[in-house]
Amino acid sequence: MNVFMLLKAELRRSAAVLAGLALVLALSLSLSIATGLTDRMLRQSSAAAADRFDLLIGAKGSSTSLLLSTVFLRDEPQTLVPLEVMKGLDDKHGVKWAAPVAFGDRADASPIVGTTSTLVTFGGTLKPEEGRAFTNLFEAVVGAETEYKIGDKIEPMHGRTPGAGHKHSHAHFTVVGRMPATGTPWDRAVMVPIEALWSMHSLTLQSQWQQTPPILGEWSDEDMKLLPGVSAVVVKPISIADAYRLRQSQSTRTVTGQQGEAVNLMGVFSGEVLVSLYGLLGNASEAITLLARLTLFTALTATVIAGVLLGELRRPSLLQLRVLGAPRRYLTTLIWLLIMTVIVVGAVGGLVLGTGFAEGAAILLGRETGIVMHPSPGFDEGMTVVITLIAGAFCALLPAWLAGRSAIR
């Protein structure tokens, strides 16, 4: 007798029950796969977003807030740093390029970042996809995900929270460039000369620069004492050794604010801050993974129990086969194959569903953070499926043995 013919008939006969078991197993496995995929995807995508921001300099305080506000453009409270921080950040001190950033305004839903053309092009390594970098006071360069086009007029609003704040009716920016997509929150940003942001918040500078527009990105020592502060400074060191030396020197440096107050600085590596954040989130991630695996174990147990019950329900049929001369191993193989079919379908379905759930998480997280994410099933997911199949194969032996044993009574 061909066991596969009988297996096919049994699959048709119990299709609804077996499909339900496969679905339960698939959903349980998908939770484990989706959790692992999303965790890895989030780590890799956030690390890629911070990759070009080697060293950040800001006022001493929370390094996490400095990272979130500067790299991920989140609305985090930041103490302004005097522009004097830019002194000494040159090639003589191991700096390839350095650029200040200032936040606090927006254009519709897009954050406005005051900076220099150096940061817009990341030291000349990134060219505008359309147009050019700004060269005049009230020109703007927009990210790839903004709604603006070359030539559009932008009326900035104070504050970084949509639905709040007031418009700067005295200032309008003209879009002159559009950057290529980078898959980072900066794709949503509107980048303008930092001098324009200063003038928008200072009537004195506004009046002065209307008569004599400033030379963008060039400040004398006297300018650094008089001009408003910055939220942070992005630094590209020449070498790794320069990076560590700069971080050490900046973390022990104090500059004088406009009111004569002392402002202590700190230098942080974006990568180190992210690793610290991953460490804080690690325990939560491990707890979720453990819960997902316990759920999978429960589903496998339920499948085995269902296999035992199925064998009991099919006992009359199995006894008939035994009377017709079918050996015990034939019946054992039949039940084992029946349960393994459920497990294989459930494992494959779990991989597909898990990847789909992770893709959905990527879309939701991308909308919230501005980071482009794509789940990529790899070795870990493959091993999860393989381990599930191996564990299932061993678990299926019990109901298969019971079915064969009970049939010969």
Q: What is the pLDDT of residues 211-230, one digit of tens each?
A: 888 889 889 888 888 888 89
> What is the token pair recorded at 352?
């597909």
Band (pLDDT 50/70/90 cuts) for residue 317 is low
Q: In this structure, what token pair is assigned to residue 322?
A: 């035994």
What mean pLDDT do residues 96-112 have? Answer: 91
The torsion angles phi and psi of 20, rounded to 5 degrees, stand at -65, -45
pLDDT at 71: 94
Give the mean pLDDT of the chain.
Answer: 85
% of the chain surpassing 90 pLDDT: 37
Whole-number pLDDT of residue 401: 79
Place of tokens 């918040």: 201
Q: What was the pLDDT predicted at 180?
A: 95
pTM exceeding 0.85? no
Residue 285 one-letter amino acid: S
pLDDT-based confidence at 311, cuts 50/70/90? low
Euclidean distance between CA atoms 238 and 249, whole angstroms: 15
Q: Tell which wins on pLDDT, 131 or 39.
A: 131
Between CA 106 and CA 112 the distance in angstroms is: 5
Query: Is the pLDDT reported for residue 1 higher than 60?
Result: no
Q: Is the Cα dihedral 34, 35, 39, 40 positive or negative?
A: negative
Instruction: For residues 194-212, give the mean pLDDT.
Output: 85
Do residues 145 and 179 make contact, with C-beta atoms less than 8 angstroms apart? no
CB contact set of 320 (below 8 Å; sequence gap of 6+): none
pLDDT digits (tens, 9 = 90+) for 367-409: 888 888 888 888 888 888 888 888 888 887 877 777 666 545 5
Which of 74-83, 299-308, 312-321, 354-363 is predicted with the least confidence, judged by mean pLDDT?
312-321
Beta pairing partners, 254: 264
How far apart CA 146 and CA 191 sit, in angstroms, is 11
Q: What is the mean pLDDT of residues 199-210?
A: 82
Confidence band, pLDDT 50/70/90 cuts, at residue 147: very high
pLDDT on residue 43: 87
